[in-house]
Amino acid sequence: MPATTSLPLRTLGTTLTVSSLGFGAMGMSEFYGPSDDAASTALLDELADRGVTLIDTADNYGMGHNETLIGAWLRASGRAGQVKIATKCGIERSPAVGRRINNTPEYIRRCCDASLARLGIEQIDLYYLHRVDPAIAIEESMGTMVDLVKEGKIAHVGLCEVSAGTLERAHRAHPVTALQTEYSLWTRDVEDGILAATKALGIGFVAYSPLGRGFLSGRLDPAKLAENDFRRTNPRFEGDNLQANLGLLETVRAIAAQHMATPAQVALAWLLAQGEHIVPIPGTRRSSYLQENLGALDVRLTAADLAQLDQATAPGKVHGTRYDAAGMKTLNV
């Protein structure tokens, strides 16, 4: 096994220390076109060698495939214990029910046991409630998570896409280590109270889709997306919305040129500058993009750079919602 490179570290909550950039593994299983397990395994080896210590997955990514892939890699590579594994429950997908939010205690427990088995580990480092069901009190869901902590099945509790009020209620029931929510230059709604709440409560913030589902890389060609790529039906990538959004890249590209960096690196550097408790989790299936993303840790944006980016991507300048109507109803609960 090659020597592992050290990356700068950040702490989620009070005790979960991870690399400043984590890795979102979802795309290795679905949503972004075809993937290759052998290539994914090689990339997992590489990112661990480069010092990435947080890998994010979920039980419903690929209907269990993503956790199974990571579990097989952990066993074959001997990396168990060297990286922190974050996974999630709460979104039920099956031919019988379609897709629905399920926060019942029985379902959370069943999902946790199944994730442990697929991952082949004794304890999940960070376990998220993937979405919140407003019909079930968050205190009840947290009670189930607390029981799993007491049983040693999970080490830290996280939530995804919740409002500041729900986060505060949950944190009173049991310390929340991390909130995972979409955050990037083109998704900044968390700046309206949620981000401040995480900082005030001492909760880490894990930013998913930090490159705007590839848009902020400046390389995306919607015409070349695979037929089963989720972005083909995402409102921000459709028609007039996409054409309007392309203008957002002008400022990003100009600042990237000044720093001899790429637009993706500038987007990640901007995100890292928003708070020391923020850990972005960009995902990729390519070694070159992994290396590019990690290069963002060396980009130092000036106050003027940050101000220009803030102005260029201010709320209201992005066209289209980040999910369809059904998906939007599950956010900020």
d(CA 239, CA 234): 10
User: Which amino acid appears at position 45 of this protein?
Assistant: D
d(CA 161, CA 330): 8
The answer to whether 132 and 162 have CB atoms below 8 angstroms apart is yes
Q: Is 61 marked active-site?
A: yes
The answer to whether 327 and 238 have CB atoms below 8 angstroms apart is no
Q: Greatest CA span in the chain, whole angstroms?
A: 54
Number of neighbouring beta carbons within 10 Å of residue 155: 17
**Surface-to-core class of residue 269, CB atoms within 10 Å of its CB (0-12 exposed, 13-18 middle, 19+ buried):** buried
Which position among 32, 61, 127, 183 bears the catalytic label?
Answer: 61
Sign of the dihedral defined by the CA atoms of residues 263, 267, 273, 277, in that order: negative
Residue 69 three-state SS: helix
* Alpha carbon 307 to its chain's center: 25
Number of neighbouring beta carbons within 10 Å of residue 28: 27
The answer to whether 57 and 28 have CB atoms below 8 angstroms apart is no
DSSP output for 295-325: HGGG----HHHHHHHHHHT-TTSS-S-SS-H
d(CA 156, CA 149): 7
User: Which amino acid appears at position 8 of this protein?
Assistant: P
Q: Hey, which residues are catalytic here?
A: 61
